[in-house]
Structure 1
Amino acid sequence: MLLRRNGGQAPWEAAEDPGTGKPAACKTRIPTFQLSQASLTEQIDSNFLQHGQHAWNVDRSQCDDLMFKHARECGARTFDGVKVQSVKFSQTFCLDEKESGEQAHLGKPVSASWVRKDKTTGSIKFQYLVDASGRAGLISTKYMKNRKFNEGLKNVASWGYFEGFEMYGVGTVAEGCPYFASFPGENKVSVGVVMEQKSATAKKKLMESPSSREWLLTQAKEAPGIGDLLAKATLVSDVKSASDWSYTASTYATTNIRIVGDAGCFIDPLFSSGIHLALTGAFSAAATICSSIRGDCSEKSAADWHSKRIQEAYARFLLVVASTYGQITGKEAAILNDEGESDFDSAFELIRPIIQGSAEESTGKAGPEDATEAVSFCMRVIRKAQNRLEDISIGDKIIRAAMQPDTGSIGGSDIDRIVIHAERGALGLVKM
């Protein structure tokens, strides 16, 4: 269903839910970002998608349900409303400090104990375990105990849903662009405030410990541009909050185990890095498990390749997010762009392969020079922004977090000269 406005084509396209006939997702063709306080009459926002490409703006719960049902349709056995509580291994848990520091040698996982919402319990046996348990990260936090929080991105966030907002960019070429968009058929948007933890603590102290609702309303309406769009809007939901969400781990795989998505690492909501890392990890887990089962490579080689794949994807996106925050905290300073440039198009041109995921195409089809150039650019930006930070060690912390052990080069599309062979019925790893 194509939505049109004022006789012209709107910058989004809606996909209907087959069950209800209602819009379930928006296909946005002109998503934009405004990273400075310059008004729209002075600066056109930067479009981070190439011409002809698009992004999907989806309802999270509907998207999760769609993928869950799709797995069932593809032949997977699915169990809704079930939580895994513990995993049993074929040998006693231990840490081998001599081999790789925090690398956990758990033995082969053989079964998992679960509980349903109605309190019934049981266990299930399996050959391979893919941990996609979200932020809880069962394997990483309970067994490997190798999660580390990113000291370079200590932020706090609050968010909620508003109704009655104003149209974005009225009278400009960016009018209605999904920088500030609702789903078709709904008059509701999600608005959030992200702030450095120390700054948020200091502000809340001055406000004499405001409620979560008071905090979000005050900070959102003080934000340049956003305040005007929310002038007549009403907060219609409870306010949610989160902190310490940026974390990583020393490894994302071991014998017959693969860790994917938030279960292993998370950077920041910016640029939808979470879904990017989740799908990248899922693809890698499937390919490495298939190769191991077929005997194309050893299980250890497959597990090591998966860990490096996640480490590389995490490092690239971490640098992009940190670079962008450098511009945000730098306000009107030229951080992502050069002096005299009125927009950030040149910057987005360089980091686009990482944002769009083409840098993670481990099939060997992506140009390695694109990813390498993007990484180099981000490191220059972080160094540039660091001179303006109160804590000048933050930039170094971010770069060190990106350059994890065994990551190697974070430019290019292959790992150890091995790429994913993405063919239906023959998914796996192949040497270049």
Structure 2
Amino acid sequence: MTHTDFVASGGPEGYAWNVIRSESDELLFNHASSCGAKTFDSTKVNDIQFEPSNVTSNFDGQSPGRPVSATWTRKNGSSGIIRFEYLVDASGRHGILSTRYLKNRKFNQGLKNIANWGYWKGGGVYGTGTYKEGSPYFEALTDASGWCWFIPLHDGTHSVGIVQNQEIAIAKKREAGCESTKEFYLQSLNLLPGTKELLSKGELISDIRSASDWSYSASSYAFPYARIVGDAGSFIDPFFSSGVHLALNGGLSAAVTISASIRGDCDEVTAASWHSKKITDSYTRFLLVVLSATKQIRHQNQPVIHDFDEDSFERAFELFRPVIQGTVDADVTVKPTQEEISKTVEFCFRSLADIPPEHKDALIEKLKSLGVEGDADDESTLRAIEEIEKNLTPEESQILNILRGRRMLRNEDSISLVNFTLDSIDGLAPRLEQGNLGLVKAAPIKASKAQLYSASFLRGGRPDIRTQRGDKVSRELGNDSTVSN
């Protein structure tokens, strides 16, 4: 399975925190309170009340009206009503807005899994003597039914979980005659030679826990005066630990778009639409990665995807097509076909291949020495590109394509939120300034062919194949900072 060096991928600021979930949640909750938020613990929202609104009636999408209040109850029996101007649904998998009022949640039938996990002591250390030493270990079951995680914890124990396709797991458990989940879990470890070796001197010290792990999304994640974030809107197979990233990304998007509406950067309909598209973009990218990994695990020739949403994939393909086709003039106005999705999943699948750091560094140094850097498409640059194509070995060409794929998957986005500001949707990009959060006009830029060979692009530098705000745009913003729908 693939290994991520966060510092190598994200630079000096690309480190990762390993935290105890319960402690982390409490820290975040208390920090919100210290920043001035009113916090309510042990409180359940039962219902949301809506009022008709001219803004919501003009919204091109689902809207039950403007949310204005919610009824709540506490464990001590008290209850009441809270009123608000804006509603952000971060209710987790319950997803009260999506499931009860919009009724727009949809499940990905190809990613209906079940997870069984337990805690072990005395486990071994993965990658001893290599740069991967002490990292979590992930392994596919030899019968291609799923995958396993082996994660070291703060107290010297390991969390070891097995994720399998639900239908396959139920059939296997029945055929094997397993009378308990624990028996099935231990039997499944026989299909994981690497994990079993790491646990050869280990001892299971907990009961086996189980959870359905069904991936789902929604047709939209916002309507005027309401935003949906995190698991309340979408959830993907946890192979790439997308949950925390999507939650933080969604929370920031909600804050940016609500602030933009209040400040008058744009109207509320535009702000809500921006948020919904941003969440869709983030979900789609992670979905492509997960589908690629699932393809590898299950050894399938076709991607595991059903009922794909053309609109959801359309924006992603605006970025993927030029790289996959090796050109900057790909037609991005055509909606993706099932065949293109298959090709893209294959493209992502290849980008997951492990590259020794020294091979990556050697290729990038070679590209730098050949002088292709920047956005120019002049004659000298094109000649340099031709020279590169002649001089690259087959192995170097393969590494180059893997690095391009990783830039399209934007692994750095899950490492840092700095890149959040680079996305332009409907001509607007985030303004992440303390005390001045909002949206600003953004000018799209088109990638040159040279950029696909640029060392800074392959390393994750700027600019990339997205958007940027130039001096001209900044001057225009000084004269007109309001964008109408």
Same fold by TM-score, threshold 0.5 exceeded? yes
2 CA distance for matches of 1:82 and 1:205?
Answer: 41
Counterpart in the other structure of 1:415:
425
Counterpart in the other structure of 1:29:
none
Residue identity opposite 2:243 in structure 1: G
The answer to whether the 8 Å contact 1:280/1:360 transfers is no
CA 1:342–1:364 in 2, change beyond 3 Å: closer, same or farther? Answer: closer
Q: 1:279 aligns with which of 227, 244, 248?
A: 248
2:181 aligned with 1:212, yes or no?
Answer: yes
Counterpart in the other structure of 1:158:
116
Residue identity opposite 1:269 in structure 2: P
SS where residue 152 of structure 2 aligns?
coil
The answer to whether the 8 Å contact 1:213/1:239 transfers is yes
When the two chains are superposed, the root-mean-square deviation of aligned CA atoms in Å is 3.0
Q: Cα deviation per residue 1:56-106 (whole Å; 9 max; x = unaligned)?
A: 2221111111111111111101111111111011149xx99x986xx4321
Counterpart in the other structure of 2:44:
83
The answer to whether the 8 Å contact 1:364/1:414 transfers is no
Counterpart in the other structure of 2:207:
238
Q: 1:354 aligns with which of 410, 416, 426?
A: 410
Q: Cα deviation per residue 1:222-276 (whole Å; 9 max; x = unaligned)?
A: 3120011112222222322222520000111112100000000011212211111
Q: 2:28 aligns with which of 53, 67, 73?
A: 67
The answer to whether the 8 Å contact 1:110/1:126 transfers is yes
Residue identity opposite 2:214 in structure 1: W
**Structure 1, 341-350 or 126-135: larger mean CA deviation:** 341-350
Residue identity opposite 2:267 in structure 1: S
Aligned length, in residue pairs = 335
Residue identity opposite 1:104 in structure 2: Q
The answer to whether the 8 Å contact 2:231/2:243 transfers is yes
Residue identity opposite 2:108 in structure 1: N
**Structure 1, 134-143 or 264-273: larger mean CA deviation:** 264-273
SS where residue 288 of structure 1 aligns?
helix
CA 1:362–1:312 in 2, change beyond 3 Å: closer, same or farther? Answer: farther
Please state how far the C-alpha of 1:309 moved relative to its aligned partner.
Answer: 0.4
Please state how far the C-alpha of 1:117 moved relative to its aligned partner.
Answer: 1.4
Of all paired residues, the percent bearing the same amino acid is 47
Q: 1:183 aligns with which of 143, 153, 176?
A: 153
Residue identity opposite 1:202 in structure 2: A
SS where residue 44 of structure 2 aligns?
strand
Residue identity opposite 1:79 in structure 2: F
SS where residue 88 of structure 1 aligns?
strand
Counterpart in the other structure of 1:58:
19
2:81 aligned with 1:123, yes or no?
Answer: yes
Q: Cα deviation per residue 1:25-78 (whole Å; 9 max; x = unaligned)?
A: xxxxxxxxx25xxxxxxxxx5646526432222211111111111111111011
1 CA distance for matches of 2:87 and 2:216?
Answer: 22
**Structure 1, 315-324 or 227-236: larger mean CA deviation:** 227-236
CA 1:342–1:313 in 2, change beyond 3 Å: closer, same or farther? Answer: closer
Please state how far the C-alpha of 1:111 moved relative to its aligned partner.
Answer: 0.8
2 CA distance for matches of 1:149 and 1:289?
Answer: 28
2 CA distance for matches of 1:348 and 1:205?
Answer: 43
CA 1:113–1:215 in 2, change beyond 3 Å: closer, same or farther? Answer: same
CA 1:356–1:219 in 2, change beyond 3 Å: closer, same or farther? Answer: farther
Unpaired runs of at least 5, structure 2: 138-149, 301-345, 361-398, 443-485
Q: 1:146 aligns with which of 87, 99, 104?
A: 104
Matches for 1:337-416 after TM superposition, within 5 Å: 337=350, 346=399, 347=402, 350-351=405-406, 354-357=410-413, 366=422, 413-416=423-426
Residue identity opposite 2:42 in structure 1: G
Counterpart in the other structure of 1:174:
132
Please state how far the C-alpha of 1:171 moved relative to its aligned partner.
Answer: 4.2
The answer to whether the 8 Å contact 2:87/2:226 transfers is yes
Counterpart in the other structure of 1:406:
none
2:64 aligned with 1:106, yes or no?
Answer: yes
2 CA distance for matches of 1:210 and 1:54?
Answer: 44
The answer to whether the 8 Å contact 2:126/2:135 transfers is yes
Please state how far the C-alpha of 1:144 moved relative to its aligned partner.
Answer: 0.6
Residue identity opposite 1:284 in structure 2: S
Residue identity opposite 1:170 in structure 2: T
The answer to whether the 8 Å contact 1:337/1:343 transfers is no
SS where residue 56 of structure 1 aligns?
coil
SS where residue 246 of structure 1 aligns?
strand
2 CA distance for matches of 1:237 and 1:160?
Answer: 6
Q: 2:226 aligns with which of 241, 244, 257?
A: 257
1 CA distance for matches of 2:285 and 2:192?
Answer: 29
The answer to whether the 8 Å contact 1:363/1:419 transfers is no
Counterpart in the other structure of 1:428:
438
The answer to whether the 8 Å contact 2:421/2:430 transfers is no
The answer to whether the 8 Å contact 2:117/2:159 transfers is yes
1 CA distance for matches of 2:197 and 2:167?
Answer: 27
Relative to its length, the structure with more helix (as a share) is: 2
Residue identity opposite 2:116 in structure 1: S
Q: Cα deviation per residue 1:120-163 (whole Å; 9 max; x = unaligned)?
A: 21111111110000000001001111100012312221112211
1 CA distance for matches of 2:403 and 2:31?
Answer: 33
2 CA distance for matches of 1:417 and 1:360?
Answer: 23
The answer to whether the 8 Å contact 1:113/1:124 transfers is yes
Residue identity opposite 1:182 in structure 2: P
- Which protein is bigger by CA-based radius of gyration? 2
SS where residue 104 of structure 1 aligns?
coil
Q: Cα deviation per residue 1:391-425 (whole Å; 9 max; x = unaligned)?
A: xxxxxxxxxxxxxxxxxxxxxx2111211100000
SS where residue 232 of structure 1 aligns?
coil
Residue identity opposite 2:226 in structure 1: I
Q: 1:135 aligns with which of 93, 109, 132?
A: 93
Q: Cα deviation per residue 1:309-363 (whole Å; 9 max; x = unaligned)?
A: 00010001100111122122229xx98349x988798447733653331699586
2:193 aligned with 1:224, yes or no?
Answer: yes
2 CA distance for matches of 1:415 and 1:360?
Answer: 20
CA 1:84–1:348 in 2, change beyond 3 Å: closer, same or farther? Answer: farther
CA 1:358–1:270 in 2, change beyond 3 Å: closer, same or farther? Answer: closer
The answer to whether the 8 Å contact 2:259/2:438 transfers is yes
SS where residue 287 of structure 2 aligns?
helix
